[in-house]
Structure 1
């Protein structure tokens, strides 16, 4: 799913080749630390982005909520999308009155203290990963 600036940042991560497989990454895994007092606003923003994605036929985000340990609030998994899918999500967002493009990026930045994006393949079992490496 395209979420404004998330994909711009993730594109930089996608340049590196995956360590396990040579296939294109399947997912963007993001960790978000909400700005103080912005957890609900961030979740509402993500819900709007999911509605635009659904209208464009793109899968919604999978969100995991932090319960203990490190300092992140939400772990979000999105599929890597094509330019055509990104354009369709942008068009749906505009039609729905949801910010898109640079405006969405600015809104997004007001709700987070920090975030990281990385690309990944999976889910896979250890045996499947070993098979991609030619190991038994």
Structure 2
């Protein structure tokens, strides 16, 4: 049997418009997936799309922290790394995409995301007025897919 190596890329998708800078972004895994495929097709053509197609998926998106996790095979991940910063439209929103972390396992990416979300939560707590708002914000930020909770 052959073991396929994967790369997991953690990205941050931020809005270019300042009035939407602090509001949750309507971020869906399918929209991220389509935006990436569109940019790879634009930059590398059919060869790039064929290279990334096997084993490529957007795994996790959090609208509050604007973080997404992408899985891709090792090798063609270089196409993705060059295309990601050039993406400026995800699901009809004008955005900037920043690569935050590249890991060989999903567990390490989830640990990075958890730590990042905890830091983001602490910075947002300063703006909250009461404990109920803080608990709601913590619930929104720290929710992860069931598969993610098993790994942590």
What TM-score range do you get, normalising by the shorter chain? 0.3 to 0.5
Choose between structure 1 and 2 for higher RCO, CA contacts under 8 A separated by at least 6 residues: 1
Q: Going by fraction, where is helix more abundant, 1 or 2?
A: 2
